[in-house]
Chains A and B, each alone.
Chain A
């Protein structure tokens, strides 16, 4: 991997955006999905990003994670400014430093659960550390389903496999995009509990986009977006306190 640009952020900040602007389209049809967001995401914390549809929360996550590029402003992960990386460097950054959990279709259908978990390591050509793998598998509680293909797993199990995959390469930060969006409340609770444990026990950093107040209540901090701007922040959220802010923002 070629040397990446020099670090520009404090150690305790896992990811940061500065004056992030993202415009889709041109001219009359242009939409400002992000309108100058500056936000820090602290290491070893579980952060939620919330907001109404169209508030820019998914766009922010995609830009933070290096899946999409900003129109203006900067984003950093672990000291690297993503705007200065080319496609290959971004790919390697995602591989080495970032984990992903998407809303659905997280897994490669031809690979069994274990191979899916190990996929980032396989792609990188790295040998898995058996201790880490066992630990992750144990926490996620899918030890008995490792030889099953994704089509043979329930939605909740699939998301836990995806979470295990995100953890196994020990990334600096995990981005989760509505990870509970397709799950029932029981499976949601299990997955959120597991993510919480990853932060508390393993010191993982997780940034999660959600529209679900119950999901947000598992985090350390919630960032509220409206019209592409960060409008409010909350620490130690509860379902009720989050719902109150959401209602307030909706007015």
Chain B
């Protein structure tokens, strides 16, 4: 039987390719993601194996008190005195302290240097001991004077910077200072540190510029020969006992860094990409199921002949499954290889120095995913094949006209309702702290999609009738197209369902972003009273110096710094935001449900909290919460009021006076302000922008501009989603091509008959195109409905978190439907041409 499967596959190469395309594309996504993340990880590991080779022991400050549940490895600064203590430990060959802080900007001609991903650099001091540094100069010299800086190779290339050139340097928007580029360096051969740039200074410059205040972030220690890393670690730890510093061997530190990096790569790149890859494969599985169903129907005679010749049902099942397995393996291997090419291309775009890492793991996962999905999708068609009676071999094979598959519709209803229940349960019973259970959420959405796909055949008839109306007006081609779309509801539905998934996800995201935008706009119009805001579009914090500068501008008033930090409230990690309470009424208004917002202005160590947080943590006005700050300070705050959260303002709020004593470094997140009395908004903004010329990282925006900035950000996000879901939609379009091409093949005789009785080639093409449009629009209708439902459910679940507005972006939805119709026309091109070229004679002769 294996031979039969193989022959059958090879004798229909076009069919094989059409079937395999959806799986190839899905597996490409999977393999591309795996190779990409492996490569990033590998590059990073390669660098790290260089990094700490000379470092025997690494000393860091105590972990922040707020670190519970966060990435491990964060630390507070170490007092300078620790370095002297470490140097005295016996067995220490050398010990150097390093200051390393991100937030350095290079400015040139009043502009920030570097692409968007390199806006800020990591600032460090140059270490001259070659044992204890990973930085290697590629040109120029190490920083020797206070105004020397060494920058990473990538930043130099991107910014067209050369050794000897003057450059302005600013740390978190402090006043820029002029430096000279003394050299260009790599980090263990890489032109950046995991895509972040760096700037190296002399130690005194780093300490003052990076505001280290006589502290180090890390002390690296090398060992004298004969002393093992472990021995030295224990000796250093013993010498520093009493302080809560962290002491690790170089290897431990490296593995911790590596682990953090891997976690971060998976969190921000690997997992999201794999989710989208999974969606693509899932969509592909619909097409596989559909294609095999059609193939089984078309091969009825052949399979019946096998049965007539004595093949058992089991053998027929095995035959179809074997064919699916071979297709799956073929498609997976091709997809795997294409994925490598795609990953290679992406890596070259982002960083030329990385070496492609193709792991056996990626091959195994790609093969398993592609093959298993194909086989699972082929099970139902294979079972149908076993029910073909041997006598069918003697009948003329004709395209069947099917009724509604009742058992499937029952199953679809159960899946759809179960999925909906699971979705609502996971969204609305989730605790505020833990958030919804993502596994339940994901499985519920999956169940809704499968349920809708199984229910869709019911909708084929009415939707095809309604959508068929304009087609009907076009005469016979439109009329026949409508009939063709309805003749096999299962096939039409499954083909549409593939498109539905991509469109539903796009729609859901569009609903969420539109709701977010509406909610933020409402917040800006309702809560925010300030007419101007200053912020870093790169979203970093900035020096309070900026506010000081603005306070000297007579055209501006109500300068209010907004500053946030991580805290533990009880044992829950959250954030607290500090305000200039002096201007609070003119900058922000709160809608209080209890107590008063003024309480934080009048009394220190008082906080107000949003009603959702208050409810979930059982906080009441007049009660007390204990806040633990990063530096370990524990403060009892009395609760002065409870307010309704909105999209911008939520969580614990305190006065700056309450917050400042507990901050290691004070950084503003935003500054809210107003024109001075009697000054018009344009005049005030012009003056603000003039003040900000010294800080090109910062923007001074009106409320309208702020809204536009947020819209632009959300649109960028939506565009990213379009790109990521584009593949799933593309696969679905390929699915329409596939279904139509197979249908055309199946209806050869009928098409020939139509041509014989006078249908022109043009009318034939038109007929196929209309059918395609009907399939695509059915997918669009389902997708928009399911997607809007999903989006509205998710937004409703976020109502209590301040996403108070539910917005369905009608224009986007119309656009998606129109796009789907166009996809339908594009998908029809190839099958329509085939249909119009049907050989009439072959169609009408019986032999």
Residues of A within 8 A of B (CB): 58, 62, 67-68, 87-88, 91-92, 94-96, 100, 102-111, 119-120, 122-125, 149, 151, 165, 177-178, 181
Contacts and interface: CB of A to CB of B under 8 A. Distances in A.
Contact of A100 (B480, B486, B756): B756
Interface string B438-475: 00000000000000000000000000000000000001
B758 A96 contact: yes
B595 interface: no
Nearest to B761: A87
Contacts of A109: 398-399, 401, 487, 750
A111 B755 CA distance: 16
A178 to B, nearest CB: 8
Nearest to A122: B476
21 contacts: A67-B756, A91-B758, A91-B761, A92-B758, A94-B756, A94-B757, A96-B758, A100-B756, A102-B844, A103-B846, A108-B754, A109-B399, A109-B401, A109-B487, A110-B401, A110-B480, A119-B754, A123-B475, A123-B757, A125-B475, A177-B845
A156 B749 CA distance: 20
A105 B475 contact: no
Contacts of A151: 401
Contacts of A111: 480, 483
B760 A91 contact: yes
A107 B401 CA distance: 14
Contacts of A67: 756, 840-841, 844
A58 B845 contact: yes
A111 B486 CA distance: 11
A249 to B, nearest CB: 22
B750 A122 contact: no
B396 interface: yes
Q: Which 10 A-B pairs have the closest CB atoms?
A: A95-B758, A110-B483, A122-B476, A123-B476, A91-B760, A110-B487, A120-B757, A123-B759, A94-B758, A102-B844
B758 A124 contact: yes
B563 interface: no
A108 B750 contact: yes
Interface residues of B, number: 29
B758 A88 contact: no
The winner among B396, B479, B757 for most chain A CB atoms within 10 A is: B757
B763 interface: yes
Given A68-B841, A122-B475, A105 B398 contact: yes
Interface of B: 396, 398-399, 401, 475-476, 479-480, 483-484, 486-487, 749-750, 753-761, 763, 840-841, 844-846
Contact of B760 (A62, A88, A105): A88
A148 B273 CA distance: 53
Nearest to B759: A123
B590 to A, nearest CB: 65
A96 B845 CA distance: 22
A119 B757 contact: yes
Given A62-B841, A67-B840, A92 B396 contact: no
B845 A165 contact: no
Given A109-B487, A111-B483, A149-B401, A165 B757 contact: yes
B844 A177 contact: yes
A120 B844 CA distance: 16
B754 A123 contact: yes
A123 B754 CA distance: 9
Nearest to B399: A109
B758 A102 contact: no
Given A67-B844, A122-B479, A125-B475, 16 more contacts: A62-B841, A67-B840, A88-B760, A91-B758, A95-B757, A103-B846, A104-B396, A108-B480, A109-B399, A109-B487, A110-B483, A119-B754, A119-B757, A122-B476, A123-B754, A149-B401
A68 B487 CA distance: 31
Contacts of A88: 760-761
A62 B843 CA distance: 12
Contacts of B487: 109-110
A145 B758 CA distance: 25
A2 to B, nearest CB: 13
Contacts of B758: 91-92, 94-96, 120, 123-124
Given A111-B483, A119-B476, A105 B396 contact: yes
Contacts of B396: 104-105
B759 A91 contact: yes
Contacts of A123: 475-476, 754, 757-759, 763
A162 to B, nearest CB: 10
A104 B397 CA distance: 12
A125 B475 CA distance: 7
B84 to A, nearest CB: 91
Contacts of A177: 844-845
Nearest to A125: B475
A164 to B, nearest CB: 13
Contacts of A104: 396, 846
B476 to A, nearest CB: 4
B310 to A, nearest CB: 30
A91 B752 CA distance: 12
A149 B402 CA distance: 13
The winner among B475, B487, B749, B840 for most chain A CB atoms within 10 A is: B840
Contacts of B846: 102-105, 178, 181
A88 B836 CA distance: 12
A87 to B, nearest CB: 7
A102 B842 CA distance: 12
A192 B80 CA distance: 112
A49 B763 CA distance: 33
Contacts of B483: 108, 110-111
Contacts of B401: 109-110, 149, 151
A96 B846 CA distance: 25
Contacts of A149: 401
B398 A100 contact: no
Contacts of A94: 756-758
A119 B480 CA distance: 10
A243 to B, nearest CB: 24
Contacts of A68: 841
A122 B398 CA distance: 24
A18 B476 CA distance: 36
B265 to A, nearest CB: 54
Nearest to B751: A108
A11 B458 CA distance: 56
Given A91-B759, A92-B758, A110 B840 contact: no
Contacts of B750: 105, 108-109
Nearest to B401: A109
Contact of B753 (A96, A108, A122, A178): A108
A209 to B, nearest CB: 11
Contacts of A110: 401, 480, 483-484, 486-487
A58 B845 CA distance: 9
Contacts of B840: 67
A13 B640 CA distance: 106
The winner among B396, B399, B759 for most chain A CB atoms within 10 A is: B759
A99 B767 CA distance: 22
Contacts of B841: 62, 67-68
Contacts of B756: 67, 94, 100, 102
A123 B487 CA distance: 20
A132 B697 CA distance: 83
A210 to B, nearest CB: 14
A133 to B, nearest CB: 16
A149 B479 CA distance: 16
Given A68-B841, A91-B758, A106 B753 contact: yes
Contacts of A100: 756-757, 844
Contacts of B761: 87-88, 91
B812 to A, nearest CB: 35
A125 B763 CA distance: 11
B61 to A, nearest CB: 77
Nearest to B763: A123
Contacts of B760: 88, 91-92
